[in-house]
Amino acid sequence: MFTVLKGWFESEGFRGCAFINTAGEVGDPDDPVRQIAKLHKKKLLDYIFELTEQLSTEQPFLLAKQLLVLVEGAITMARVMGDYSAAGSAREVAQLLLKQASR
């Protein structure tokens, strides 16, 4: 996941996540725009959960949520701070989480 993020961050025209960007402009959590963004992030969480379920870990959903936080944080750091190395930093933390989860 983090290799793909790094490539995206370094691609021409990278402007961050359209769902994060748009949801940040809408204050009402019930607004349809926010609901679409929420659905997108839920689908991403579901995908990561599918991956973590394949591991030998006691809490694959918790691990999936933690990895999603790393993904979303890396996207935000890349967009807001221009720190495209955030994908690598997130990967390093993910490796620690995976190591801890496999004990």
Question: What are the pLDDT digits (tens) for 72-81?
Answer: 999 999 999 9
Q: Report whether pLDDT(5) > 90.
A: yes
Residues 6+ apart with CB under 8 A from 66: 97
The pLDDT, as a whole number, for residue 34 is 94
Q: How confident is the model at residue 58 (pLDDT cuts 50, 70, 90)?
A: very high
Q: How confident is the model at residue 55 (pLDDT cuts 50, 70, 90)?
A: very high
**By the 8 A CB rule, do 52 and 60 touch?**
yes
pTM (2 d.p.): 0.92
Alpha carbons 26 and 19: distance in angstroms, whole number: 11
The torsion region of residue 74 among left (phi > 0), alpha (psi -120 to 50) and beta comes to alpha
Q: What percent of the chain has pLDDT over 90?
A: 93
Alpha carbons 19 and 60: distance in angstroms, whole number: 25
